[in-house]
Amino acid sequence: MTKRFIPIFAASALLILALGWFAGCGGGTDADVTAADSTAVAADDSTEAETVKKEKAIKVDAGLVRRGDLVLPVFADGVLRTPRAVEIRNKVTGQITQVLVRDGDRVRAGQLLARIDPREYALSLEESRYRHIQALSQIAAEDEEQIDDSEALADFVAARAGLQARRGDLSDEQFRSQLLELELAALKEGAFRQDMFAQRTGLADARVAEERARLNLEYTEIRAPFSGVVSGLVAVKGENASIGQVICSVYDNRNLEAVVDVLEADLGNLAPGRPTLIAVPATGDTIRTTVDVISPMLDQASRTCQVIVRFENPDDRYRPGMFVRAEIAARIHPDKLMVPRESVLIRDDRPLVFKVTDEPRAQWLYVDIGLENSEWVEILAVHSGGSLASGDKVVVSDHLTLAHEAKLSIRKTIPPRDRWAAGTAE
């Protein structure tokens, strides 16, 4: 009896354990299922939010669309020169007693540069004065009054003016002969009595000699003809200078001009007054000026024409002989819609720009482009359902791989700049 009860009890216990295991593994209440579903939905929402959060804004620079004049330039190389440079040469002989300047000195007009011993020329002036007085004494001794006939003198002046007016129709011999006849006729009428008296008494010669001596004395002081800079000084104190000997040179660097050679093919649209940018590589500067002169002659060897542009150099920053590169406004096209050159990309062999929307996001716009220079590109038409107007922003950097509707972060907006604005209408 006892032996048979144990196996039955064991079997029942095993059955109960199996049912309990099945209920714990495969079964469950409705509350358990609902809790599991909520957990799954919350996980999906968290994943979606994390995906949205991961959309990063692309940092770019923006430029402005503008409407204005589009300038197409021509380029030419040349050098700077000064329009006023002169060698100062000695006009009288003598020993140099003073040299008052050095190379590089800035001098003003009329400033004394050097001096030649003036004593001999002062004596010559005094001698000529005595001769003048002697002639006056002779006139006083003769006590003869000579008065020109004013009417005869007026008639001579009028007749000589008429002869001068016909100068182009006469040969030199005819002109001299007719002038002599007019003078003799006027002399007989009493037109030159005072001049004849001065010549007969020696007064005329004395006056001429005195003026010449005074002029030579002035020449002993060598002065600057205009304000400028001294260069090439060769005069030495104590040396004997001869007439025509170089003392130094004076350059006026306050006003310079650039002489550039423009190719024959680029001359058709050039004219005086056109805006010009002169780049000076030695200083890294760009000078804004205008064309002053276009040479009427063409160099047959190089097929170029000289164009001159002038500008002020108040600080002596630029020097004659410096190399320059000129950019001259050859054609000016008014009222063009333009975008910065950096904003235009080529994709699928078509030009496009990225317009910055209000969000801001990148709006992909295919465009038709026209004229262009180193800074601006003309927009002829806009496709893809968008538009461009003056004042709109376009992406100008970090946009090679930019996508449509990409989120943007504008680092800076570059204001429109026009290198030609001073010389063209905006």
Amino acid 418: pLDDT:
73
Nearest to 357 by CA among 416, 404, 417: 404
Residue 280: φ, ψ to 5°: -115, 100
Amino acid 147: pLDDT:
67
Per-residue pLDDT of 266-276, as tens digits, reads 998 899 999 99
Amino acid 9: pLDDT:
41
How close are the terminal C-alpha atoms of the chain, in Å? 121
Q: Which stretches of the chain score pLDDT less than 70?
A: 1-53, 142-148, 197, 200, 421-426
Cα gap 46→361, rounded to integer Å: 25
Cα gap 46→49, rounded to integer Å: 5
Amino acid 399: pLDDT:
92
Q: What does pTM read for this prediction?
A: 0.62
Residue 260 Cα to chain centre, angstroms:
12
Amino acid 144: pLDDT:
59
CA atoms within 13 A on the CB side of 53: 6
Amino acid 138: pLDDT:
73
Amino acid 33: pLDDT:
43
